[in-house]
Chains A and B, each alone.
Chain A
Amino acid sequence: GNSVTQMEGPVTLSEEAFLTINCTYTATGYPSLFWYVQYPGEGLQLLLKATKADDKGSNKGFEATYRKETTSFHLEKGSVQVSDSAVYFCALNAGGGADGLTFGKGTHLIIQP
Chain B
Amino acid sequence: GAVVSQHPSWVICKSGTSVKIECRSLDFQATTMFWYRQFPKQSLMLMATSNEGSKATYEQGVEKDKFLINHASLTLSTLTVTSAHPEDSSFYICSAIGTGASYEQYFGPGTRLTVT
On whether A103 and B103 interact (CB within 8 A), knowing A43-B109, A98-B31, the answer reads no
Contacts of B46 in A (CB 8 A): 100-102
In the complex, what residue of chain A is closest to B108 when comparing beta carbons?
A43
Smallest Cβ distance from B58 to chain A, in angstroms? 11
Cross-chain contact B93 with A43 (CB below 8 angstroms): yes
Q: Give Cα distance in the complex from A2 to B93, angstroms.
A: 20
**B27 CB within 8 Å of chain A:** no
| CB <8 Å contact, A41 and B49 | no
Interface class of chain B by DSSP? strand
Interface centre among B45, B59, B107 (most CB of A within 10 A): B107
With the chains together, A103 CA to B93 CA distance in Å? Answer: 13
A66 to B55, CA, bound (A): 35
Give chain A residues whose Cβ lies under 8 Å from the Cβ of B104: 46
Q: Is A89 an interface residue (CB 8 A)?
A: yes
> In the complex, which residues of chain B have a beta carbon less than 8 angstroms from the beta carbon of A97?
103
User: In this assembly, does A4 line the interface, its C-beta being within 8 Å of a C-beta of chain B?
Assistant: yes
Q: Which residues of B contact A101 (CB under 8 A)?
A: 34, 44, 46, 95, 105
CB distance from B42 to the nearest CB of A (A): 6
Query: Digit string of B94-116 for contact with A (CB within 8 Å is 1, else 0)?
Result: 01010000011111111000000
Q: Are A44 and B93 in contact (CB under 8 A)?
A: yes
Q: Which residues of A contact B (CB under 8 A)?
A: 4, 36, 41-46, 89, 93, 97-106
Given contacts A43-B108, A98-B49, 12 further A-B contacts (CB under 8 A): A4-B43, A42-B109, A43-B110, A44-B107, A89-B44, A98-B32, A98-B103, A100-B46, A100-B49, A103-B43, A103-B44, A105-B43
